[in-house]
Amino acid sequence: MEHKNTLAIISLLGILLMISNVSAIGVSPGTVVFDKMVRGGYAEKTLTISTAGSEDLVMKVEAGGAIKDWVSFDPMESQITLLKKSAKPITVKINVPNTVRNGQYEGTIIISTLYQGSEGGSDVSGARFMPGVIVKVQLTIGGEEITGYELKSVSVKDTEQNYPVEFNIKIENTGNVVVTPRLHIAILDGERKDTGKSLDYAESQILPTVTKQFTIKMPTKGMELGAYYGKLTDDLNHEQTLFFQVLAPGTLAIVGTLEQVSLNKIWVKPQETVKIDATFTNEGEVFIDSAKLKTEVYILDPTYNTKELVGVTEGESMSVPVGGTTTLTAYFTPPKAGRYSIEGVVVYSGKKTEMKSSVLNVLEEAKNYTLYYLLIGAVVLLVVFYLTRMTEDGRTRRFRKLWGDYLNIK
Amino acid sequence: MNFSVSNVAPTVGTVTCTFQTPSEAVDYNVTCNASITDTNGWQDVVACNATWFKATSLVGGAANENNKYYNATGCTLTSGTSNTVNCNCGFRVRYFADGSVNWIGNITARDSSNGLGRAESALQSLTVCRALDLTRSTVQWGSLAPGYAGTWFNITNITVANNTGNVNISFQFTGATADMPCSPSPANNALAKIKYCAAIGATGTAYASCGMVLTQTQTGSDIAGGWAKNRQGATPATIENRTIFWAVATDSGINGTCVITVNQYAVQANPEM
């Protein structure tokens, strides 16, 4: 019986069957580097695992090598599902023990796809193949503690009177130890003069390599309606200044934005009228029944980098529906040559937009030299006529009489 | 306050480029922005364009999906006020564009008198995406007799793997080093074995270079690394093909179906490009 089986099997060995499925996986970045770490320190980085394939994948993510025991992942699940044609971030966290020596360490992060059929999965013995990616991890532990962070972004929105103004701040810890940024916000008025109102903030701890976003609320009690600037500084001498407005209660829903101020032409001659267009959008929730462009026109002096007001203009009022964009128009006629700055704001529903401007180049009027040329021509003709006439003796021309000896003309 | 008004060419400020994290086999966006200043006013700037190119490639020449892009999705001038206007440019970059070296964004601005200004970004280090697309195959060897001492299969490109990342990769196999799980579980600790080896050459006795002799008691071994697969667009484009030789053995007492899973990993090639 055994002999019979052997014969049967030998005849099958030469047959190779291939059953194909397509699956794909990619990992970015392909190498993870943690440098400038310290003993007992922490760092994290994000891996993006992706597939453009047409089947869902179940993955296992694990660490290997010398750093294996220092690594953890978020999410922590032993199996992670990656839907077809998608990408998923995985946070790699490193906690360096206090007891290790300074030096360079290497390890790997192994991302494997798991077979999802039943164990065996086939009536026939064989081997099946699953894709994976191995990412190298390089880690340097040194003795120097580095304190540093970076202001990634700061933003602020308008507020209504008696409601706090909110500064949204995003900071990245670029050092290798925990930092608590010390922030200072000073409120400046519309002319950028200090109002004396300020706030100090040092409540947010940030782990190394981590970017944290938080909000600082600052009371507006006692602040008049109007435009302000928030000047944010920190203990590492970063500085950012942001514009915001304190509005009357109930007006926050009225929001208009001046997109740009443009001219129909920017190269003109004196006394040539230009059309000023302001693109204004109603971004609020309320119909704006009156929006008007107001401009101030300055002539610029590049020598002293100064400007002098030479005129103001005002356009007609227009209504702007919610979500609508309208062009508001005014006109200006430059009195003389020079470079002008036309600075416009749109006044609407008791509010005013931020200023936008455009530059007008007024060229010198080209001078008409025709009359000068005619006069010069006439004078030349008269001189030639005079010199070519006979002298009083009736034989010698005046030119020869005057210049003959000197030019040796016989 | 009198001075002569004349044309001054625009100047391009700091060029800032950002890019999406590359995903497996998915083209991605790169944007480059700069603030352009023109003394004659922002409206005097009439056009801007951009180039996104590999730092090691020459400026100029034809566009190339591997190393040079010209205004793939165009540039726009926005948010003009006073003397400045922003130039925003976008590129749709192929997923295989070389991720092993730095890239540079260049923006050129032109004013109404054809005056030009240009600037380049700092070197941009792309994010490496290490990826493979595997035509997953199950190698079937039919039924084996109990106590079969093994033989070699000679299979070329047993798994068809495409490099779908932006750097060259090598392959590494793990998982088939020892025993194949069988169903039902064999009695008496009987084992089914698999062993494989990669060697250059597709036919003949190249497997001998692996120096493997399959016996019923031998454990398997992983395939050595250094089996490279270049990314699309790389030079040279050829793949170092290797043949995988397979050997299978069964112990006496095996009676069932024995299937093993082999992981084929993309690992860092040396060099990556």
Residue in this structure with the two tokens 């001498």, named with its chain if needed = A237
Tokens (6 digits) for A112: 């494997």
> Could you give the 3-state DSSP secondary structure of residue B200?
coil
Q: Render the burial of A291-300: b for 16+ CB within 10 Å, e for the rest.
A: bbbbbbbbbb
Alpha carbon of B195: minimum distance to chain A alpha carbons (Å): 11
Phi–psi pair at A136, nearest 5 degrees: -80, 140
Residues in chain B: 273
Q: Residue type for B183, please?
A: S
Dist. CA B55–CA B102, nearest whole Å: 6
Dist. CA B47–CA B117, nearest whole Å: 11
A299 contacts B1? CB cut-off 8 A: yes
β-pairing, A194-201 vs A159-160, is: unpaired
**What pLDDT does residue A99 have?**
92
Most confident among B36-45, B60-69, B196-205 (mean pLDDT):
B36-45
> Could you give the 3-state DSSP secondary structure of residue B120?
strand
* DSSP-assigned beta bridge partners for residue A374: none
**Residues in A 342-381 with any Cβ partner in B closer than 8 A:** 356-364
CA B157 to chain centroid, in Å, comes to: 19
**What pLDDT does residue A119 have?**
47
End-to-end Cα separation, chain B, in angstroms = 61
DSSP conformation letters of A125-137: EEEEEEEEEEEEE
Q: Is B251 on the interface with A (CB under 8 A)?
A: no
- Report in angstroms the alpha-carbon separations of B257 from A72, A87, A365: 37, 36, 98
User: A23-27, A293-297, B130-134, B231-235: which has the minimum mean pLDDT?
Assistant: B231-235
Alpha carbon of A20: minimum distance to chain B alpha carbons (Å): 4
β-pairing, A125-141 vs A31-37, is: parallel
> Could you give the 3-state DSSP secondary structure of residue B24?
coil
What is the mean predicted confidence (pLDDT) over A336-360?
93
Alpha carbon of B182: minimum distance to chain A alpha carbons (Å): 7
Q: Residue type for A302, please?
A: P
Residue in this structure with the two tokens 């894709």, named with its chain if needed = A131
**A359 within 8 A of B41, measured Cβ to Cβ:** yes
**Residues in A 260-299 with any Cβ partner in B closer than 8 A:** 260-263, 266-267, 299
* DSSP-assigned beta bridge partners for residue A360: A340
Does the pLDDT at position A72 exceed 90? yes
- Looking at residue B54, the DSSP 8-state letter turns out to be E
**A185 within 8 A of A165, measured Cβ to Cβ:** no
Does the pLDDT at position A405 exceed 60? yes
> Could you give the 3-state DSSP secondary structure of residue A3?
helix
Alpha carbon of A130: minimum distance to chain B alpha carbons (Å): 5
Rg (CA), chain A: 40
- Looking at residue B180, the DSSP 8-state letter turns out to be P
Give the helix/strand (H/E) hosting A399. Answer: helix A398-407
CA A76 to chain centroid, in Å, comes to: 35
Which chain B residue has the Cα nearest residue A137? B268
Residues B155, B156, B160, B163, CA torsion sign: positive
pLDDT top residue among A389 and A331:
A331
Tens of pLDDT, residue by residue over B127-168, are: 999 998 887 566 666 666 665 555 444 343 355 677 889 988
Dist. CA B10–CA B87, nearest whole Å: 12
**What pLDDT does residue A11 have?**
29
A26 contacts B23? CB cut-off 8 A: yes
**Residues in A 202-241 with any Cβ partner in B closer than 8 A:** none
Tens of pLDDT, residue by residue over A74-129, are: 998 889 999 999 999 999 999 999 999 999 999 999 999 988 765 445 566 777 77
Q: How confident is the model at residue B71 (pLDDT cuts 50, 70, 90)?
A: confident
CB count in 10 Å sphere of residue B103 = 25
B144 contacts A9? CB cut-off 8 A: yes
Alpha carbon of B61: minimum distance to chain A alpha carbons (Å): 30
**What pLDDT does residue A217 have?**
94
Dist. CA B60–CA B53, nearest whole Å: 10
Tokens (6 digits) for A38: 């310290």
> Could you give the 3-state DSSP secondary structure of residue B19?
strand
Tens of pLDDT, residue by residue over A202-261, are: 988 999 999 999 999 999 888 999 999 999 999 988 899 999 989 888 888 888 999 999
- Report in angstroms the alpha-carbon separations of B183 from A120, A124, B1, B101: 7, 11, 97, 50
What pTM does this model have?
0.78
**What pLDDT does residue A122 have?**
55
B259 contacts A358? CB cut-off 8 A: no
A127 contacts B260? CB cut-off 8 A: yes
Q: Count how many Cα atoms sit within 13 Å of the Cα of residue B270 in the half-sphere of its side chain.
A: 3
Does the pLDDT at position A393 exceed 90? no
Give the helix/strand (H/E) hosting A298. Answer: strand A288-301
User: A73-82, A176-185, B237-246: which has the minimum mean pLDDT?
Assistant: B237-246
A358 contacts B135? CB cut-off 8 A: no
Nearest beta carbon to residue A134 from set B112, B153, B172: B172
Q: Which residues of A touch B158 (CB under 8 A)?
A: 18, 129
The percent of residues above 90 in pLDDT, for chain B, comes to: 35
B142 contacts A12? CB cut-off 8 A: yes
- Let me know if A174 is exposed, middle or buried by CB neighbors in 10 A (0-12, 13-18, 19+): middle
Dist. CA B268–CA B273, nearest whole Å: 10
Nearest beta carbon to residue A25 from set B24, B41, B135: B24
Phi–psi pair at A71, nearest 5 degrees: -105, 140
B1 contacts A301? CB cut-off 8 A: yes
- Count chain A–chain B contacts defined by CB atoms under 8 A: 278
